[in-house]
A = this chain, B = another copy of it.
Amino acid sequence: MLSQEDIQFYISILKGVNVIDIYRLFKTAKTKKIRAGEIYIHEGTASTKMGHIKKGLMRAYQLKPNGDEITILLRWESQFIGSYDTIMWQKPSRFIFQALEDTTLTETDYNLVQEMADRNSSIGAYRSIFQVDMLKEATDRIESFVLLSPKERYLKLIHEKPDIVNRVPDKYLSTYLGITPVSLSRIRKRIASEQ
């Protein structure tokens, strides 16, 4: 079942799409709720489902042989989440996708979008929005890694997304920033002591 909001979201991307395609898209689109801690996509699975986050926060992480968890992706309201291993290059996910808060998604199947996009340019525009959204986040992060120090990276993150520190445990934030939890703790201390 789709809410008024969902319908508005779809209408915004469906200009020029024919009625049959709209029907197919709506029929498969679901509002999905995932509780905090729950796994959305397991490692090794090849799910092409794709969620547009309405509320909540999710992460993708990898489990290292020694048991360490490395958070590779954080996504929140108005962003897309999905196994890009599967969606982009048709491979099983190397990552585990998990909700860190109770999360509400508008879920579609990327294969359907893909198939329709190949026939319908308005759906193609939707696919493009998804890809640009992923690209924006990705290039931004690369720039953080290349141009900034770990400390600057952390400051940039809390500047751009101030609520993140209250929503994501430091142990996840730190690996997301490419450093260890111990190191992040020291960075925070250094920042605090600088006044």
Interface residues of A (CB under 8 A from B): 62, 70-72, 84, 88-89, 117-125, 127-128, 131-132, 134-136, 138-139, 141-143, 145-147, 175-176, 178
Contacts and interface: CB of A to CB of B under 8 A. Distances in A.
Copies in the complex: 2
A124 B135 contact: no
B178 A146 contact: yes
A147 B64 CA distance: 10
Counting from the closest, the 6 A-B pairs by CB-CB distance are A124-B124, A138-B138, A131-B131, A145-B145, A121-B121, A146-B178
Contact of A121 (B84, B124, B146, B175): B124
A132 B123 CA distance: 16
Main secondary structure of the interface of A (DSSP, over half): helix
Contacts of A122: 118
A139 B141 CA distance: 9
26 contacts: A70-B146, A70-B147, A71-B146, A72-B146, A88-B132, A88-B136, A89-B136, A117-B121, A117-B124, A117-B125, A119-B121, A121-B124, A127-B128, A128-B131, A131-B132, A131-B135, A134-B135, A134-B139, A135-B135, A138-B138, A138-B139, A141-B145, A142-B142, A142-B145, A145-B178, A146-B178
Contact of A125 (B118, B134, B178): B118
Given A145-B142, A146-B178, A178-B146, A88 B135 contact: yes
Nearest to A176: B146
A72 B135 contact: no
